[in-house]
Amino acid sequence: MDSARREAAVKRLERSSHTAFIHSNTLYVWGGYQVVAGQDVVLPSSEICLCDLDSGKWECKEITGESPTGLSGFCGSNINSTLYIFGGCDSDGYSNQMFSVDVAQPCFSWTRVADTKGVTPSPRDNHSCWVHRGRLIYFGGYGCKTVAEAQNTSSSSFIVEEMSWAMIGNTLFRCWGWNNEVCVFDTRSSTWSAPVTQGPAPSPRGCHASSILGNKGYITGGVETEELDIFCLDLETWTWSRFDSLPCVSPLGRFMHTMNSVSDQTLFVYGGLGMDGKTLNDAWLFNTQKGEWTKVKHPHEDKPRVCHTACLGSDGDVVVFGGNSDFCVLVDSVSVMRAPKQHHCRDVLIFQTQPYSLCRLCEDLISRNSELFRLDLLPSKLHKKISRRAACLSAMKLMPTA
């Protein structure tokens, strides 16, 4: 029975469209979906999976409390040890509720964030979030508005999707579409606000990627363009700017990809779904000072990914988890549909984006050759870390290859 439970737990790690974050060198993974017998199955909201990034060992823990139910397209973000879930779509439609859980507590418990001040944003999914000075700053997404809300929203900020509205008799009461709104939630005061932005804003979109560098938030992709567009929002002046495409190498347009800040001026973009409807395996660096793209050679070119997560780990590493390796969209003159063939992943991919420090190189050397060293002479914390990493590397060497 124990073996069966372990096998089932490992199987549940396979997922796409989940959320993940790193805290104390542990990767936390929540939500997402699998395909079972050709049907999308949303993973349970009462469980969160943890991976010790030193040892590579996984465990799953229960989350009690009032939890979000059956969500897809939600936005997950964290401030220190607290995970926030906002929006998404379930069997009842689009949501604008927020939930939180603090993984630093001995027992994990969901809390629905209620009694907030200000105007809560309209229900939405496929949006993104920047975390800045204790605030969650959401951008874009797809969702519904009442007619009154749509009438009070600029046509350039909310594009109603054709043939996507609801009627009561002959009266229009709700419509759906893409937006480029900026909505701010201050976690300290539980207050929603909507700053007035200036400058050339991105077109309404979802399924894009976002990241933050200092006081600036960056948005890229999410629409079908020949090149990957990139915008910047100053989070102090609320002013948008767009990077002009340079006559040099640049990535294909894409969506459902990831972007991480890996230095004071560099963003790292990986994977996604390309304009041809195929899953991509390329990685790129974008220099925000020069406005230039550089293609990155990496060891995971045989592992294309879409609907994955990417977190910034130690020493500038980007830690990619899960996603789909063979997601395909079929397009004809009448419709766009998802191909039934899908391969959900459960492996962790590490992308080194900068040279390692001498300390990290020494730790790696000792871990790979632990039998040559007296590990018991190391300080206890370092001893524990090196021992876990050495055990993980040893187990990998013993794994059979196909």
Q: What is the pLDDT of residues 29-76, one digit of tens each?
A: 999 999 887 788 899 999 999 999 999 999 999 999 999 988 999 999
Q: Does residue 183 register a pLDDT over 60?
A: yes
What is the band of 401 on the pLDDT scale with cuts at 50, 70, 90? very low
Q: Do the domain assignments include residue 354?
A: no
Q: Is residue 21 part of a domain?
A: yes
For residue 191, is pLDDT > 90?
A: yes
The reply to whether 168 falls in a domain is no
Domain contains 28: yes
Residue 17 lies in a domain: yes
179 vs 158: CA distance, rounded Å? 4
Q: Is the pLDDT of residue 337 over 90?
A: no
Q: How confident is the model at residue 4, as a pLDDT?
A: 56
**Secondary structure, 3-state, 123-146:** CEECCEEEEECCEEEEEEEEEEEE
Domain assignment present for residue 64? The answer is yes
| 353 pLDDT higher than 50 | yes
Residue 115: pLDDT band (50, 70, 90) is very high
In a domain, 341, yes or no: no
- Which token pair is 188? 């300290």
Q: Hey, is 387 helix, strand or coil?
A: helix
Q: Cα 349–40–342 angle (5° rounding)?
A: 50
Mean pLDDT to the nearest integer, 124-132 = 97
Q: Whole-number mean pLDDT of the chain?
A: 89
pLDDT at 234: 98
Domain that holds residue 25: 1-72+84-114
Chain length of the chain: 402
Residue 68 has which token pair? 């979000």
How confident is the model at residue 3, as a pLDDT?
57
From CA 266, how far away is CA 257, in angstroms rounded? 17
Token pair of 213 as six digits? 């560098």
% helix, strand, coil for the chain, step of 5: 15, 45, 40
Query: What is the number of structural domains in the chain?
Result: 1
Residue 371 placed within a domain: no
| Residue 400 scores a pLDDT above 50 | no
Whether 278 contacts 305, CB under 8 Å: no
More confident residue, 171 or 241: 241
More confident residue, 148 or 11: 148
